[in-house]
Homo-oligomer: A and B are copies of this chain.
C-alpha cells in the first residue's frame, strides 16, 4: 500500500498455481499474503514448500490468513480461484481492494476479466495465462513440474499498465511476458485447453500422451484446435482488435510441446478424476456462446461442450 515499501500482494485461491506464483513473489521480497483454508494449519506449522526444477525452496513463515478481511487492502490481488468460483470472486476479493488495487486473474477460460470489470471497472483488470504444470501434492506442498511462463494481458491492452504488471515480477524466478492483446492470448490458451482438457475428459480422463499418441484422438485434437482458433480470430475481428492468431504456427507449437511433455494430466482432467466441478463454463461454454453469437458452425466445440457438461461430476460451487 505504498510507493516505497515492497508492493503488497494478496493471493486468493492458493492451490497449485496461486501458491507457486505467490511463493515466487514472496521469495523475491514482495509482501505476499495468502488466503488459505484447508492448508492454513499445515502452512502455519511447516511453512509453504515448493519443489521445482528452477530450485526447491520453503517459505518458513509466509503471511497467511483465513479471511480476505484479515489480509486487508493491498496493491495487487492475484486471483487464482477455479473458474467455477467466478460468481463469488468479486465479492471474495472486495476486502482487499482500494480504488487503486490492480487485479490479476490467473484463471482459466474466457470472459473472466470481464466479470471482474463489471464490478471494478476495466482499467485495473489483468489476465494471466500460465503455461505450466503445477500440482498441489499435499497440504502446504506444491510441485512445480515443468515450464512456468506467465503471459499477462491488460483488459484494455494499456501498455503503461502492462509495464506496471511486469514490474511486479522483477527479480522473481518466473518468466513473465506481456501480450498486446489479452483476448488473443486467452484464445491462444483455449487452443490448448479445449482440445486437450476437453478430449482428455471425454476420452475417460486420460493423460495427454494418450491424446497425441492415438491417431484418431490426435486428428480430433488438431481439428478441435483449428476450429477453436478460427473462432478466436472471428471474435477478435468482431471486437475490433487487429491482433490475429497464427493458426498453423500455434498448432505446430502445441503439438510439439505436448509431444515432449509426456504423460501430463491437465487440471481439468485432474478435477474430473477427483470428482470436482469442471471449469466447463469458462473453458467451453463461453467460447461456444461467442461462436454462436458470430453465427459460426462449430461441431467439435458443440459436441465437446455437451459431453463435458454431462460428465461434470458436480454442479459448480464456490471453492478455494
- Residues of chain A at the chain B interface (Cβ within 8 Å): 199, 202-204, 206, 210, 214, 216-217, 219-220, 223-224, 299-300, 302-307, 309-311
Q: Which of A219, A220, A306 has the most CB of B within 10 A?
A: A306
Main secondary structure of the interface of A (DSSP, over half): helix
Task: Provide the residues of chain B in CB contact with A307, threshold 8 Å.
Answer: 199, 202-203, 217, 220, 307
Q: How far, in whole Å, are A304 and B219 apart by their CA atoms in the complex?
A: 12
The minimal Cβ–Cβ distance linking A205 to chain B, given in whole angstroms, is 10
| B305–A204 CB distance below 8 A | no
| A203–B311 CB distance below 8 A | yes
Copy count, this protein chain: 2
Q: How far, in whole Å, are A307 and B195 apart by their CA atoms in the complex?
A: 12
Closest to A312 in B: B204
Task: Provide the residues of chain B in CB contact with A199, threshold 8 Å.
Answer: 306-307
Q: What are the nearest 6 A-B pairs in CB distance?
A: A216-B306, A203-B310, A299-B299, A220-B306, A217-B306, A220-B303
Q: How far, in whole Å, are A214 and B302 apart by their CA atoms in the complex?
A: 13
Also in contact, A220 and B302, with CB within 8 A (given A202-B202, A202-B307): yes
The minimal Cβ–Cβ distance linking A284 to chain B, given in whole angstroms, is 10
The minimal Cβ–Cβ distance linking A38 to chain B, given in whole angstroms, is 28
